[in-house]
Amino acid sequence: MLDKKLLSILACPDDKALVVYKKSGRKETLVCTKCKRVFQVKDGIPIMLPRNSA
């Protein structure tokens, strides 16, 4: 589980909306409350890279 303090400051890199922590079995993710984009959490580290702008 991610630290609650860390979760309170994380935001989607695309639209700056809050993210919600989800856990299903061993899989951990963060889900954007606005665009619903899903970010993986690997070894306790959120992988939150912005989408490429082309």
The answer to whether residue 54 sits within a structural domain is no
What one-character DSSP code corresponds to residue 9? H
The answer to whether residue 31 sits within a structural domain is yes
The answer to whether residue 21 sits within a structural domain is yes
Question: 14-37 pLDDT, tens per residue?
Answer: 999 999 999 999 999 999 999 999
The answer to whether residue 51 sits within a structural domain is no
Instruction: Name the phi and psi angles at 50, rounded to 5.
Output: -70, 155
The answer to whether residue 52 sits within a structural domain is no
Q: Provide the domain limits for residue 8.
A: 4-46
The answer to whether residue 29 sits within a structural domain is yes
Percent of the chain with pLDDT strictly greater than 70:
96
Element containing residue 47 per DSSP (H, E)? none
Q: Would you say residue 41 has pLDDT above 80?
A: yes
What's the number of domains the chain is made of?
1
pTM for the whole structure: 0.87
The answer to whether residue 33 sits within a structural domain is yes
The answer to whether residue 12 sits within a structural domain is yes
